[in-house]
């Protein structure tokens, strides 16, 4: 098995879904194309013909997110026609699965270099659009009806863990906004953003260079005034959950040998990954068993992880993970740049955003050897990837 390395990752700024969002009227596949082109521009030593495959994820695979988007995006981006491509769907973990699937091919020897990423234009394709859940799910009690609504699954998680109060989730959400604002001020987000030109009715052309969803001045008082749309007197609000967003991501992966041959940078090494299933009606707990499984595979303990990038689909989901592993709500290892509550969560694209942020934190903190990207996944799953920091003095040595 060959070592797999994360060479580079980029993303578009994330926008708010809907007719007022920065990507209203724009195609999803064009967002992917811009990300792929930026990867090639940033890595000029990579001949385009050396790319062995392109894996792009989308949750709603229809319209401008359909037609085997990995292949169509590769062609639209100007890659040689000899470069194949395919589409992936694992809901929120689409881009994460695009990475792990192609990484497996690299480790096995089928690939040397790949592009993996994801896109979700939730303005063009609202969550669940065109879906037709089989009535047996409910009629035969295969899943609780709440499993088909992500907000309801978050309320169920609150029920399971009553110590995670609305006040605690709101406090977590405020910190996410503050951390993202701090990361922007420090220039830690901008290097991996692909500027995207867009045209809006009545305002002409604009160049989008920053994320649209953040609300850096958010306070506890602001969040306390929000309604709970999924349950009367509930705890999940628009303030302590990720929004509905548009955006795309793309990452360049390679074998360690190919990276050295082509003069490509090594920003992380993949150590282990795992996916696990849980009860669909509490899908937010999915990162817990996925992380336990990945740690076993890697021969590591939770205390060996020096940085965590946890997708903030809902604050309660992150907090349930932290409680399980005995990690404090304000632990500085967790989501240093803020998370999806602030920056947005365009479903299938988010996995690579987590990786981009972890790779940049590795560069800033060579004392950290291992980091983790993890997320919950709709219909009751979780996914976790463990990475090693190439700047650490013991990089590549045995974990013991």
Positions annotated as catalytic residues are 92, 345, 376
**For 84, what's the count of Cα atoms within 13 Å in the CB-facing half-sphere?**
7
Q: Kindly list the distances between the CA atom of residue 158 and the CA atoms of 165, 236, 241, 284, 339, in Å, as whole numbers in the listed order.
A: 7, 9, 13, 10, 20
DSSP secondary structure of 32-60: HHHHHHHHHHH-TTS-GGG--EEEEE-SS
Please list the alpha-helical segments (H only) found in 191-236: 220-224
Q: Kindly list the distances between the CA atom of residue 258 and the CA atoms of 2, 6, 148, 299, 386, in Å, as whole numbers in the listed order.
A: 10, 12, 43, 26, 21
Distance CA 227, CA 219 (A): 15
**107, 2 Cβ separation under 8 angstroms:** yes
Distance CA 105, CA 110 (A): 5
């Amino acid at each position: 098995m060959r070592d797999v390395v994360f060479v580079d990752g980029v993303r578009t700024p994330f926008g708010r879904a809907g007719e007022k969002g920065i990507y209203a009227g724009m195609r999803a596949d064009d967002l992917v194309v811009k990300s792929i082109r930026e990867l090639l521009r940033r890595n000029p030593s990579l001949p385009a013909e050396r790319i062995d495959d392109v894996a792009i994820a989308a949750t709603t695979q229809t319209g401008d997110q359909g037609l085997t988007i990995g292949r169509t995006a590769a062609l639209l981006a100007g890659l040689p026609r000899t470069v194949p491509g395919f589409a992936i769907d694992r809901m929120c973990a689409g881009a994460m699965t695009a990475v792990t699937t192609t990484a497996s091919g690299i480790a096995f020897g089928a690939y040397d270099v790949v592009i993996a990423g994801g896109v979700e234009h939730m303005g063009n394709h609202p969550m669940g659009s065109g879906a037709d859940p089989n009535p047996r799910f409910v009629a035969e009690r295969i899943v609780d009806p709440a499993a088909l609504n992500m907000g309801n699954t978050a309320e169920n998680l609150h029920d399971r863990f009553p110590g995670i109060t609305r006040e605690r989730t709101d406090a977590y959400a405020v910190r996410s906004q503050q951390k993202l604002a701090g990361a922007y001020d420090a220039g830690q987000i901008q290097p991996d953003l692909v500027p995207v030109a867009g045209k809006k009715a009545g305002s002409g052309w604009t160049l989008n260079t920053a994320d649209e969803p953040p609300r850096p001045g958010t306070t506890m008082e602001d969040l306390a005034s929000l309604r709970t749309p999924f349950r009367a007197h509930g705890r999940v609000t628009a303030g302590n959950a990720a929004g509905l967003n548009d955006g795309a991501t793309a990452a360049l992966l390679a074998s360690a040998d190919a990276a050295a041959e082509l003069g490509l940078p090594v920003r992380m090494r993949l150590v282990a990954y795992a996916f696990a299933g849980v009860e669909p009606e509490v899908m937010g707990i999915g990162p817990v068993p996925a992380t336990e499984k990945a740690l076993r595979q890697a021969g590591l303990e939770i205390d060996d992880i020096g940085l965590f990038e946890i997708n903030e689909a809902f604050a309660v989901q992150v907090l349930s993970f932290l409680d399980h592993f005995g990690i404090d709500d304000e632990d500085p290892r967790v989501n240093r740049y803020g998370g999806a509550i602030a920056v947005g969560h365009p479903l299938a694209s988010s996995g690579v955003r987590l990786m981009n942020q972890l790779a940049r934190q590795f560069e800033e903190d060579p004392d950290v050897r291992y980091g983790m990207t993890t997320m919950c996944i709709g219909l009751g799953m979780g996914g976790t990837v463990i990475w090693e920091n190439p700047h650490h003095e013991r990089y590549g040595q045995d974990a013991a």
